[in-house]
Amino acid sequence: AAEYEELLAERHRDMAKFSAAFEGFDCLLLPSTPQTATPVSEVDENKIPMSRLTRAGNYYGLCGLSLPYWQQVESLPVGIQILMRGGGDARLLSVGLGIESLLPRASPLFR
């Protein structure tokens, strides 16, 4: 129990530091995954943890959204992760809609 309480306290200290560093920014744009989309049946979390780039949002209590981005017409998409302060879900969805309108549409192969 003591170790758990210390880890929670450490997380809260980390959240406070991150919040201070995030001051003046509306959102962060990051990749969602370390590679293009992969069929779920081919994902091996032991080799390449697909969720490793989204863990920071969870750890720091942020709200997040991932949008697909097609780099080439016939490619599989990569994910663009948008992170905002926790509780900013409505604003995040609005920002996500704006960003989505600027991105290329889905590959014709996937429409």
CB 107 within 8 A of CB 70: yes
**Which element (helix H / strand E) includes 22?**
helix 2-22
- Return the pLDDT at 110: 53
Give the model's pLDDT for residue 91. 96
SS3 110: helix
- Confidence check: pLDDT of 7 > 60: yes
Q: Which residues pair with 80 in a beta bridge?
A: 31, 67
Structure tokens at 21: 């560093």
Task: Specify the pLDDT at position 73.
Answer: 64
Tokens of 75: 């490619």
**What distance in Å separates the CA atoms of residue 80 and residue 100, rounded to the nearest whole number?**
10
